[in-house]
Structure 1
Amino acid sequence: MTFASFWRPVDPSKAPCKSKFAGPGGNAAKGAFAGLGLAAFSMAVGACGSSAASPAAKGTASKPGSSTPATSPVALRASTASWQLRNPLSRMVVLPAGNNGLAILGGLTAADTSASGVFRLDLANGSLATVGTLPAAVHDAAGAVIGSNYVVFGGGSVSTVGSVDAVPSSGGSGTVIGKLPQPRSDCAAVTVNGVVVIAGGYNGSAADTTVLETTDGTSFRQISSLKVAVRYPALAAVGNSVYVFGGIEVGGQNSGKLSASVQKVDISTGTISVVGSLPEPLDGAMAFVLGGHVYLAGGDSGSAANPVSNPSVWLYQQGPGFTQVATLPLAVSNAGVAVSGGAAWIVGGEHDGKATAVVQTLSGTGSGAKS
């Protein structure tokens, strides 16, 4: 299938969606999904507006709008892009890809199947180009850019996997370059000064509390263990501090419940502590850093069995805690997020458990204390 054969404009108001997914590889409560190859996936975006620089300019985008609370200390503008993904997608890896672009790897389709496609999304106009394929279809994985490769850690498909896959950013088929210490899905990764830190997750039968670091995707070192065992957390890093936000607790008296914990890992010492609480328990939220400030967007509240997506966007500062600074036009969880061109891009995800094709942006930091 050529790129031209599946790219065409799409009316966001008619984007299909599925009933809520039960979740990642190996979890009986969340379900298990068969793999889906690139040809069957054929995700694309369609232009519905004249300029991606003004993503909310057209009324055809799904739930368009913007939000900039005047009282916020570091306010953000939230809006929907004037284009969207051709098909709903969630639980994928999204990474920066050169100037004004994002790489989208794997994910879960509206048909409840894992995807193997790797694409580059041009944020200037919403066009999508095929970059390659993963060695195997996967969702609920962690990802990072290492050298000239997009690297995917673990994930789920029919079962939880432990492979580490690399896809050249210049294009081509992915290869397996290593293995995690054990199979792991439902985890997250963040890069700190060239070191990739992986936290949270599930090994197919129990929580994986180890906090790992790697510089090459082939060798791993444990630097700490989570105080609160969670899967589906959000991660963000400032300096040597990695913050682990929320998730679903695994094991113990709160097993299966959403977590409100904020855990902080000092990667220079391996020290970990619980330093605060979320405004409410959340899993599948998206964390990012803009202008040196840590933000947390979306996520699911309610319960793991009956998710209710949260539209709030918070500024997080250790000590003061959380301040709401924006509202997502469409509340989502389990979306891909990456920063490019001074904005955070939230790609796809799930709204109340149903996959969406909407792409949202958050931009416009102001003055305020840094974490």
Structure 2
Amino acid sequence: MKKFIIGVVAATAFFVCAIGQAAELRDDHPEFHIVQPGDTLWDISEAFLKSPWLWPEIWHVNEQVDNPHLIFPGDVLALVYIDGQPRITKTNRLPNGTIKLSPKVRELSRGQAITTIPLDAILPFLVSARVVSKEELQHAPYVLAGDEGRLANAQDNKVYVRGIIQPEVSKFAFYREGEVYIDPDTGEELGVEAIHLGAGVKIRSGDPSTIRIEKSVAEVLKGDRLWPTNDEQLRPYYFPHAPTSEVDATIISVYDGVVQIGQYDVVVINRGERDGIEIGHVLTVHQRGKEVEDPYAKDNKNVSDDGAMSRFFKSLVNAKDTVMLPEEEAGTLMIFRTFDKVSLGLVLKAQRPLHVLDKAKTPY
């Protein structure tokens, strides 16, 4: 499996981050930061900024240093002021004032740059996650049978496949139909989760074609579907940034089936590319309000109409014994994979347990 490294491109065009927001430094921000192995751009941004998603607003490209557009372990990041505005930039000057010399014999590649968010938390989803329509699922190639009559097939087994209409394609991934994603607000079907089972290579064309399973994470069964592998669709470089318009999304699913969602869990939201969702978008998660019983609702209904206060109590309950509590800000997630109608996000912070049907909104 080809390994994809999400390097941080520390330049490119500046995003217009959150609506009307300016990057504000933390009270305890450092003046310098020496990048360590294992650092992520999100970690560094959190160290400097109250709102880490505004990093593009404060980053300044220093063309006087090597690899100005990338951040590597060992780089020195300094807080400077340009035209009176705080900026963070790469520098050759260490905190004690000495000059850091870059070894010319060492050539740094994009693959050595620090990652935007923890790579090990999202790599399986970058490579294998797929959301498709029911029509796409129905028209995808499928496993007809296993070699030697096997019902369950694994690595190094051969399977016979029908429906391959692209003779030039030789590498495939195996999938099984999973959860159907439904928009809780509109009832619209947003897509079907395709559960990744493994990968294979075509060793004989025809009807059926013969595919050898090269890697399996689960047994491949009769009726499972195949898709050509398409690594080019992955975007390896991005900045964390806030949407430029109002996003009001809902968490509709969580991978691994956990009940309480926490840090580094991967969630699905009911907004996708058609809604303007981009890789790198940062959203604030709001815990949905619970409906609670008012212990005095019945008493309030029986108060007399004498006086403004009694009329106030009667208007509050309005013949209802329960009250909906307001939403509470509960965490932060970053979008790292988008599809037409849904997107995948990594929970970066959870101040309280999160749940399916919690809201994900533009941060302010």
TM-score interval, normalised by the smaller of the two chains? under 0.3
Larger Rg: 2
TM-score, normalisation: structure 2: 0.25
Normalized per residue, which structure has more strand? 1
Normalized per residue, which structure has more helix? 2
